[in-house]
Amino acid sequence: MSIEVKIPPVGESISSGVVSVWHKKTGDYVEAGEALLTLETDKVSTEITAEKAGTLQTKVDEGQEVKIGEVVATIDDSATAPAEAKSPAPNEAAPAPAAKKTSEKRSPNAEVLSPAVKRLTTEEKVDPAKVTATGKGGRLTKNDVLSHLKSSGEGPATTDDQEKPRAEQKPATAEEKVPSPETSSRFTRKKMSPLRRKIAAQLVMAQQTAAILTTFNECDMTEVMSFRKKAQEKFQAEHGVKLGFMSFFIKAAVEALKEVPSINSRIEGDDFISNHYYDIGIAVGTPRGLVVPVVRDADQKSFADLERDIADYAARARDGKIKIEDLTGGVFTISNGGVYGSLMGTPILNPPQSGILGMHAIQQRPVAIKGDVVVRPMMYLALSYDHRAVDGKEAVTFLIKVKEGIENPTALLLEL
């Protein structure tokens, strides 16, 4: 009997996706629960697994766009596992331990791969056992694979290819394959990934539908850096996570939103909706593009809770394990361009939100304090806001409130 493999619903607003990679091919015998393919959507990537064991027959190619509910493969559950897939007889088991031992010597955790690493090794046809693992506990990381490809001369053809997995490109025919460096053309053309298309559409929509204005200020990071340095050892020992800067900015932003509630709002048609909760989006850069997971009820969480949430979201986003529900419902966004060295920039709104705070690089600069010129670690802050919902005075007040919170961190009631 043939069982249809359909694309399941992966989010309320998602109607289609792209078959990024087939983990199993036509004719392969698959076990129930085994990953068949990775589906890339405009928000998340997810693995589709086999409901029953049997022989797989694929119906669509890698790189092909598919609709939710579309049949992409069938599984013949009347088929039996091939002899090599069954448990070997006692007299056949001798060679296996030696092969396993060799593999484990090269990479103890070669078989424990994150979805992102598994996808990259599959697409690039890299044997994980041949890659030197540098991750924690001998785990193989994406950078390990990319370094291996680069050193072996098999890396992506363009710099942009290093930013996004090749599975996001349309499968190339013989004529479409990227030429060797000696005969390459002046540019490379490829399809945008679903996530990149979504980001592009969101940014254009934000510019076209909101009256975006940006106001700037700067804050002295001396106190928060000193406080963080003094508390770090105790904080990490008690909570098992490092104390970063982002939790301070989340707390400061929450206090500022309480002070200026118009920024904690959105415009919906002719209605003005004021939010009475504080779910803060944190922009996270991933190899696939920018995603904004949401820290729920940030006003009710301690610094330790915030740091754990941030670390968890960042790890899952980079490994491609972020869920659609993690990315929806935020009322305000914080973006830290400073981690990439940005000194100043104007962040674009994350619709339908009315405000976004941009953090930037910390830079030693001379400033005047009580008539004396001193050198202090300074950070430029930028607040982009929807001028339809927020007046200029309110935007300036908000940014000053954030500045005051950062320059006087004890006022944020840090819980150790």
Catalytic residues: 387, 391
CATH superfamily of 196-412: Chloramphenicol acetyltransferase-like domain (3.30.559.10)
pLDDT tens-place values along the chain, 416 residues long: 788 898 887 665 577 788 878 988 898 899 888 889 888 776 677 788 888 888 998 998 887 888 888 999 999 888 777 765 454 544 544 444 444 444 444 444 445 576 667 767 776 777 888 888 776 667 777 777 777 776 765 544 333 443 333 333 444 443 344 334 344 668 888 777 776 777 788 788 888 888 999 999 999 999 999 999 999 999 999 999 999 999 999 999 999 999 999 999 999 988 999 999 999 999 888 776 778 899 999 999 999 999 999 999 988 888 778 887 888 889 999 999 998 999 999 999 988 999 999 999 999 999 999 999 999 999 999 999 999 999 999 999 999 999 999 999 988 865 44
Query: For residue 95, how many C-alpha atoms fall within 13 Å in the half-sphere facing its CB?
Result: 2
pLDDT of residue 101: 43
Quote the pLDDT of residue 285: 81
Beta strand 45-49 with 35-40 is antiparallel
* Domain 2-76: assigned CATH number: 2.40.50.100
How many C-beta atoms surround the C-beta of residue 366 within 10 A?
A: 9
Q: List CB contacts of 222: < 8 A, sequence separation 6 or more.
A: 376, 377, 407
CATH 3.30.559.10 location in the chain: 196-412
Whole-model pTM: value is 0.62
CB 391 within 8 A of CB 373: no
Token pair belonging to 343: 């000194």
Residues of the chain with CATH 2.40.50.100: 2-76
89-192: which CATH number, 3.40.50.10190, 4.10.320.10, 3.90.1150.10, 3.40.630.30?
Answer: 4.10.320.10
